[in-house]
């Protein structure tokens, strides 16, 4: 079981498709002083006057677009708001690039975007259309505000920290896409905003050292990406992974959940962090520890299996770039 | 000649591909109070604390991407910085979504982006990669800062205003794409930044009532888009259109120039506006007048031809939305 889990994750496209990011990022030049953090983070952090801004973009996997344009449009809003929320920020506005020559697809795409906007309370303020395109695609960018004294970075976990997840388990495998566990379309706006706001609360109370939203690589894959960019390793106990009862672990481990975050906490703050997640309508558990051995290991009681050895393997391959300022 | 020009423009894909924008935009809900202006503008204008922000996105036409990935990458930076400059703003940072499974294409794309970043002085701070995609695409979003007391909107031209262009005529038809007149790749950064900065100067000196960067619809097509969203009409004198000597008017009128803006000015300020453009290394001319008849007309001495009657025709079909605040 453990061997199979490790192998499934190692070869899961949701994880392996992150491989080309590192080399791409290295090609972009260094940044001016006002860019506090950028690659390796869910959103770039920029200082403008007295304001802190966060800026991110996400393209929707073309598999998902082919499967269900409404869901692709909806997800384009969901993943972008998550990028801002994961940093402890507040979404401000989005812009979109809609590429399709098919009016039916376009309408369903826009309906999905509209539904997402309503649920997650972020306006779409502009963008671009490619109405004569040979492909169908939706790309969205988002900006938000952030308190620069309380940012949750992805690159700042310390060895010895606990790894904690906060995740919504009440949902369904999305009928259009087997790797998506939808927990948001059936819930009220108030609950969703409370869940999204959990990270800002953790930031304001200085409870976490690092954090990220759980994206296509799934819960363990996302923890792996974070640990890799932190230049650390991790041990994750598969028996402590929160999971919906009716889904197999092999499937669950590869799923993109509608609402979920992974954070690292100093052990003395773990209980408080879990409390913040639970009060925000999320299920929260400690699932492992940050280690200094540069390996992503899963364990089942006394058995252990290495998924990645970052001395030679990579997920994104982004080398660790610590934020230029850290106020905490 | 005049009839042919009108017909070429009316049916030019650079213009007609803007048609689906209006219905798309109408589907997006209304915006919160801090969004000062959005659809119909080159960039959305947002108020955050004491700061003014501008936010835009541009996808690159797939025709151009197929023709030359380096040039597509370069243009993704060029058009985005233009969107911010056209409002009178200053670019701050970009994010990109690179979609391609072809490493060669990806490398040329990123080289193009990098060259653009160097030339135009804007960092790329994040984004997303789709490395397992069935298509090749580059989408970029940009944010910038702006002085909210001196914004150049697209929707605020008045009947009786002069229509003035500022454009760089020193360049070449791009070898990869017949509709692109490249004036930037062969010039130094200092000249390009001076040219881009012309709009901020016009804004600070309160010389213009409206303005836009010249994009895929070409000089007259862009003036038409602006006039349409202003709920006005225009008469443009084709004999006053600045044009490189070695290019036919029929071709020129459909070209996307590397660096160009169209603005409207109260007649008593026209001379000063032209001076600002000329001092910024651009050729500047008055090319027409804003009218209240809702038609886009071109004229050649005493002959006139209507390209669009906005009572029944459309370019974008975006209904006029005046900015919520206008400080000038």
A93 touches chain B (CB under 8 A): yes
How far is residue A229 CA from its own chain's centroid? 14
Do the bridges between strand A256-257 and strand A180-182 make them parallel or antiparallel, or are there none, so unpaired?
parallel
Name every chain A residue with its beta carbon within 8 A of the beta carbon of B95. 44, 55-57, 141
Looking at chain A, which residue has its C-alpha nearest residue B113? A28
- CATH of B31-146, picked from 3.40.50.300, 3.30.1330.10, 3.10.440.10, 3.40.50.720, is 3.30.1330.10
Name every chain B residue with its beta carbon within 8 A of the beta carbon of A129. 17, 20-21, 24, 59
ipTM over 0.85: yes
Residue A96's pLDDT is: 93
Cα A301 to Cα A7, A239, A298, A304, A307: the distances in Å are 18, 8, 10, 8, 16
Contact B96 A57 (CB under 8 A): yes
Name every chain B residue with its beta carbon within 8 A of the beta carbon of A57. 95-97, 126-128, 139, 141
Residue B328 has pLDDT above 60, yes or no: no
Residue A1's pLDDT is: 82
Sketch the domain layout of chain A as residue ranges: 2-15+152-309, 32-146
A95 touches chain B (CB under 8 A): yes
**How would you list the strands of the sheet with B260-265, edge to edge?**
B210-213, B260-265, B162-167, B283-291, B233-237, B295-300, B303-309
DSSP state of B308: E
How far is residue A204 CA from its own chain's centroid? 20
A320 touches chain B (CB under 8 A): no
Residue-wise pLDDT tens digits, B81-122 = 999 999 999 999 999 998 888 888 988 999 999 999 999 999
- How distant is the Cα of A26 from the closest Cα of chain B, in angstroms? 11
**What band does B29 get if pLDDT is binned at 50, 70 and 90?**
low
Instruction: Examine domains B2-15+152-309 and B31-146 and report if their fold is the same.
Output: no
For residue A252, which phi and psi values (nearest 5 degrees)? -60, -40
B75 touches chain A (CB under 8 A): no
Name every chain A residue with its beta carbon within 8 A of the beta carbon of B24. 98, 106, 110, 129
Residue B18 has pLDDT above 90, yes or no: no
Stretch among A288-297, B60-69, B252-261 having the lowest mean pLDDT? B60-69
Contact B35 A125 (CB under 8 A): yes
**What band does B272 get if pLDDT is binned at 50, 70 and 90?**
very high
Radius of gyration, CA atoms only, chain A? 19
CB B199 within 8 A of CB B144: no
What is the C-alpha separation between A285 and A266, in angstroms, rounded? 14
Q: List residues bridging with A138 in a β-sheet.
A: A98
**Percent over 70 (pLDDT), chain B:** 96
Residue B313 has pLDDT above 60, yes or no: yes
What is the C-alpha separation between B16 and B217, in angstroms, rounded? 8
Which structure tokens are listed for B328? 């000038």
Run of H or E including B17: none
What is the C-alpha separation between A325 and A35, in angstroms, rounded? 10
B128 touches chain A (CB under 8 A): yes
Fold adopted by A32-146: 60s Ribosomal Protein L30; Chain: A; (3.30.1330)
Residue A320's pLDDT is: 66
Residue A56's pLDDT is: 96
Q: What average pLDDT values come out for chain A (328 residues) when binned by 10 residues? A: 86 76 68 89 93 94 90 95 97 93 89 94 88 87 97 96 98 91 96 98 98 92 92 95 94 93 98 98 98 94 92 77 71
Residue A73's pLDDT is: 95
Q: List residues bridging with B94 in a β-sheet.
A: B124, B142
DSSP state of B84: H
- What's the average model confidence in pLDDT over B306-319? 82
CB A268 within 8 A of CB A161: no
Neighbours of B11 (CB within 10 A): 9
Residue A206's pLDDT is: 97
Residue B311's pLDDT is: 86
The better pLDDT of the pair A324, B51 is held by B51
In a mutational test of the A interface, the residue from B33, B57, B58, B104 whose CB has the highest number of chain A CBs within 10 Å is B57
A15 touches chain B (CB under 8 A): no
B68 touches chain A (CB under 8 A): no
In a mutational test of the B interface, the residue from A40, A131, A141 whose CB has the highest number of chain B CBs within 10 Å is A141
Name every chain A residue with its beta carbon within 8 A of the beta carbon of B144. none
Smallest Cβ–Cβ distance between B123 and the set A13, A17, A31 belongs to A31
Radius of gyration, CA atoms only, chain B? 19
Which structure tokens are listed for A45? 């952090």
Chain B from 151 to 180: CB within 8 A of any A CB: none
B72 touches chain A (CB under 8 A): no
- CATH of B2-15+152-309, picked from 2.40.50.140, 3.40.50.880, 3.90.650.10, 3.30.70.260, is 3.90.650.10
What is the C-alpha separation between B262 and B287, in angstroms, rounded? 9
- How distant is the Cα of B171 from the closest Cα of chain A, in angstroms? 27
Which structure tokens are listed for B74? 């370069």
B23 touches chain A (CB under 8 A): no
Which structure tokens are listed for B34? 């801090």
Residue A63's pLDDT is: 85
**What band does B270 get if pLDDT is binned at 50, 70 and 90?**
very high
Contact B50 A48 (CB under 8 A): no
B33 touches chain A (CB under 8 A): no
| Mean pLDDT, chain B, whole residue set | 91
Contact B57 A129 (CB under 8 A): no
Residue B327's pLDDT is: 58
Stretch among B37-46, B82-91, B141-150, B232-241 having the lowest mean pLDDT? B37-46
Chain A from 263 to 302: CB within 8 A of any B CB: none
What is the C-alpha separation between B93 and B306, in angstroms, rounded? 41
Contact B114 A28 (CB under 8 A): yes
In a mutational test of the A interface, the residue from B141, B144, B212, B318 whose CB has the highest number of chain A CBs within 10 Å is B141
Contact A92 B46 (CB under 8 A): yes
SS (HEC) of chain A: CHHHHHHHHHCCHHHHCCCCHHHHHHHCCCCCCCEEECCCCCCEEEEECCEEEEEEEEECCHHHHHHCHHHHHHHHHHHHHHHHHHCCCEEEEEEEEEECCCHHHHHHHHHHHHHHHHHHCCCEEEEEEECCCCCCEEEEEEEEEECCCCCCCCCCCCCCCEEEEEECCCCEECCCCCCEEECCCCCCHHHHHHHHCHHHHHHHCCCCCEEEECCCCHHHHHHHHHHHHCCCEEEEEHHHCCCCCCCCHHHHCCCEECCEEEEEECHHHHHHHHHHHHHCCCEEEEEEEEECCCEEEEEECCEEEEEEECCCCCCCCCCCCCCCCCCC
Contact A126 B51 (CB under 8 A): no
Contact A57 B123 (CB under 8 A): no
B76 touches chain A (CB under 8 A): no
Name every chain B residue with its beta carbon within 8 A of the beta carbon of A13. 132
Q: What angle do CA A226, B56, B201 make, to 5 degrees?
A: 125
CB A28 within 8 A of CB A321: no
A23 touches chain B (CB under 8 A): no
What is the C-alpha separation between A259 and A252, in angstroms, rounded? 14
The better pLDDT of the pair A111, B29 is held by A111
Q: Assign B223 to helix, strand or coil.
A: helix
What is the C-alpha separation between B81 and B78, in angstroms, rounded? 5
The better pLDDT of the pair B134, B269 is held by B269
Residue A295's pLDDT is: 93
Residue A217's pLDDT is: 87
CB B297 within 8 A of CB B233: yes
What is the C-alpha separation between B93 and B53, in angstroms, rounded? 12
Contact B114 A58 (CB under 8 A): no
Q: How many CB pairs under 8 A join A and B?
A: 195
B39 touches chain A (CB under 8 A): yes
């Amino acid at each position: 079981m453990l061997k199979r889990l490790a192998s499934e994750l190692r070869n899961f496209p949701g994880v392996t498709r992150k491989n080309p990011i590192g080399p791409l990022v290295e090609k972009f030049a260094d940044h001016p002083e006002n860019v506090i953090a950028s690659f390796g983070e869910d959103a770039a952090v920029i200082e403008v006057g007295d304001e802190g801004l966060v800026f991110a973009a996400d393209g929707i996997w073309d598999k998902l677009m082919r499967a269900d344009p409404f869901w692709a449009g909806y997800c384009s809003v969901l993943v972008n708001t998550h990028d801002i929320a994961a940093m402890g920020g507040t979404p401000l506005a989005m812009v979109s690039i809609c590429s399709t020559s098919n009016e039916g697809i376009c309408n369903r795409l826009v309906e999905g975007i509209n539904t997402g906007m309503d649920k997650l309370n972020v306006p779409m303020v502009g963008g671009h259309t490619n109405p004569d395109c040979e492909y169908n695609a939706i790309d969205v960018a988002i900006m938000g505000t952030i308190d620069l004294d309380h940012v949750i970075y992805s690159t700042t976990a310390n060895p010895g920290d606990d790894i904690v997840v906060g995740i919504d388990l009440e949902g369904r495998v999305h009928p259009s896409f087997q790797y998506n566990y939808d927990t948001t379309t059936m819930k009220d706006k108030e609950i969703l905003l409370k869940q999204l706001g959990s990270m800002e609360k953790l930031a304001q109370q200085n409870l976490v050292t690092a954090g990220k939203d759980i994206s296509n690589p799934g819960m363990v894959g996302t923890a792996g990406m974070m640990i890799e960019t932190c230049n650390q390793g991790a041990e994750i106990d598969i028996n402590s992974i929160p999971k919906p009862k009716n889904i197999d672990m092999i499937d669950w481990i590869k799923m993109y959940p509608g609402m979920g975050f992974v954070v690292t906490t100093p052990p003395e703050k773990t209980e408080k962090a879990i409390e913040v997640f639970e009060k925000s309508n999320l299920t929260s558990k400690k699932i492992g520890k940050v280690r200094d051995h540069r390996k992503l290991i899963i364990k089942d009681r006394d058995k252990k299996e290495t998924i990645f050895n970052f001395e030679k393997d990579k997920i994104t391959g982004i080398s660790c770039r610590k934020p230029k300022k850290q106020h905490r």
